[in-house]
Amino acid sequence: MEKEDALNALAALGQETRLDVFRLLVKAGKEGMSAGAIADALNVRPNTLSTHLGALSRSGLVQAERDGRSIHYRADLTTMQYLVTYLLQDCCGGNPELCAPIASLAVSNTCSEPEKL
């Protein structure tokens, strides 16, 4: 991932509604959700949601697919993986033990809230 792509993704997630949308779509999994279902779940006006979905789509964090008359949105976890990898790429500074707590969260089989590091 290039620096500009990382900045775009972080900017997209740096807004409360867009972060809520992304997290909701992660929970929805591969099936994704229609814009109407997202708006209902988050109690967001459809025209406002459209703006947020556009920002997330442009950043590559969300993919849209037409399904008849509606559009289904899905979180693009590959882009999120690239973003996290970009952020952690140099975190260890040659000392892999420093990143062990973060790495263990990545391979954890639980979906609980992460521990404070």
The answer to the question of residue 102 being in a domain is: no
> Do 75 and 22 meet the contact criterion of CB atoms below 8 Å apart?
yes
Residue range 41-70, pLDDT digits in tens? 999 999 999 999 999 999 999 999 998 888
> Is 22 contained in some domain?
yes
CATH (domain of 21)? 1.10.10.10
Instruction: Note the pTM of the prediction, 2 decimals.
Output: 0.80
Between strands 33-34 and 62-67, the pairing is unpaired
Which residues is 91 bridged to in the sheet? Answer: none
Q: Is 67 helix (H, G, I), strand (E, B) or coil?
A: strand
- Interval 2-27: pLDDT, tens: 999 999 999 999 999 999 999 999 99
pLDDT of residue 115: 43
In a domain, 92, yes or no: no
Residue 74 is inside which H or E element, if any?
strand 70-75
Please indicate, yes or no, if residue 38 is contained in any of the structural domains. Answer: yes
- Domain membership of residue 32 as a residue range: 3-78
Q: Is residue 115 part of a domain?
A: no
